[in-house]
Structure 1
């Protein structure tokens, strides 16, 4: 397995794998497959340069990815939002999701960020467990954060300090 930052040349493979994820686990993503596929190719590829995209490969085949977006305005530049994270159904159970998340955390720490946040469907117990194992703490719930196929879904809000700070001291 090889982990590396994705480039615009990886856009077709990324879109295909993301589409697979949307078909397999629609509640794990904000976009629908129709919304993903409606993004023009040029814009989709350009977005890769606008955020951290890391992929894991086997024999040049993309098996998983994670995306992290740094805060855009000056007062949020110390933070990043992570997601989505997806590993192909055929490659799950090999630690690839953990490796992708750790690579993203290491990269963001190296860039001097102080904290990262993510949202995860509270019913996605495997992902919630992974994030807790990686040091994320739940700090809230967002009821009806999305509606997938007519069903209300609730997200957990999770956070992790990258600089060793105690985020909930005295709480």
Structure 2
């Protein structure tokens, strides 16, 4: 066994840990004038987790954080729900291009946000547990129905310090806010 093997293992472990906490791919339509977006409808998020309320919680945090930027008006969830019903959107978590255009007309929204909660809550690695949140989102322009931005973020997970110190990680609410903040920084980049 050479001395390079332990170093290689350490480097691979560090890269793996960094990958678990980093963001993913980001897409920005270079032809889109993001300054023209003034009103946004945040659709119900898809939930791929075992936590029944995860999508609603993440949607609420996302909507609040987007509204807090001050540059965009986020339609209230009740108004979005009424618009979904009036526009006849069959599957609000993944509307078709035609439904996005119609919804934009009904709600007078410039864009629609759709999202997916991939992970939410506790994960275990051996005897160590910690919280993780993984979200992806897309911004669809309502005049054309096309995707003009997409991003993803994963925060939390079992870290080396969790394993060594048994800290249990951060609360899921704080991790959700961190993941949403990273998504918004990708959007406004």
Q: Greater CA radius of gyration, 1 or 2? A: 2
Higher helix residue share: 2
Q: TM-score, normalised by structure 2?
A: 0.28
Q: TM-score, normalised by structure 1?
A: 0.31
Higher strand residue share: 1
Higher RCO (CA 8 Å, separation ≥ 6 residues)? 2
